[in-house]
Amino acid sequence: MQMYNPPHPGEVIWELCLEPLALSVTQTAELLDVPEKTLSELLNGHLGISPEMAIRLGLAFDTTPESWLWMQMQYDLWQVQQQTPTKPFKVQRIQARVE
């Protein structure tokens, strides 16, 4: 079941990982071995979580990469679904042929 208006994963990282541990963006970027700008863009919702970043987050916070990718997918899917009522896809149903 899809979550209603899921938060961007960057928001989750900020609120559940960085804030409770009193980590700065600079410290966290160093610990993840990523550029500070990359982490900042992720935390601010301007970047999504890539498979590589999911692995880094999983290792750093003792979580699974899949959990981070699932969160990103739920966010992305929600965003697209909110746009489609005004711009519906012109898709036709494909039916199997019985021969």
Domain containing residue 33: CATH number:
1.10.260.40
Tell me how many domains the chain contains.
1
Identify the band that residue 3 occupies on the pLDDT scale cut at 50, 70 and 90: low
The C-alpha angle with vertex 81 and arms to 10 and 55, in degrees rounded to 5, equals: 30
Please state, in angstroms and rounded to a whole number, the distance separating the CA atoms of residues 72 and 91. Answer: 25
Residue 24 has pLDDT above 70, yes or no: yes
Confidence category of residue 86, pLDDT binned at 50, 70, 90: low
The parent domain of residue 68 ranges over 9-83
Helix (H) or strand (E) holding 5: none
What's the pLDDT at 87?
67
pLDDT at 90: 82
The answer to whether residue 3 is domain-embedded is no
pTM of the full structure? 0.85
Q: Rounded to whole angstroms, how far apart are CA atoms 84 and 30?
A: 39
Q: pLDDT tens, 41-65?
A: 999 999 999 999 999 999 999 999 9
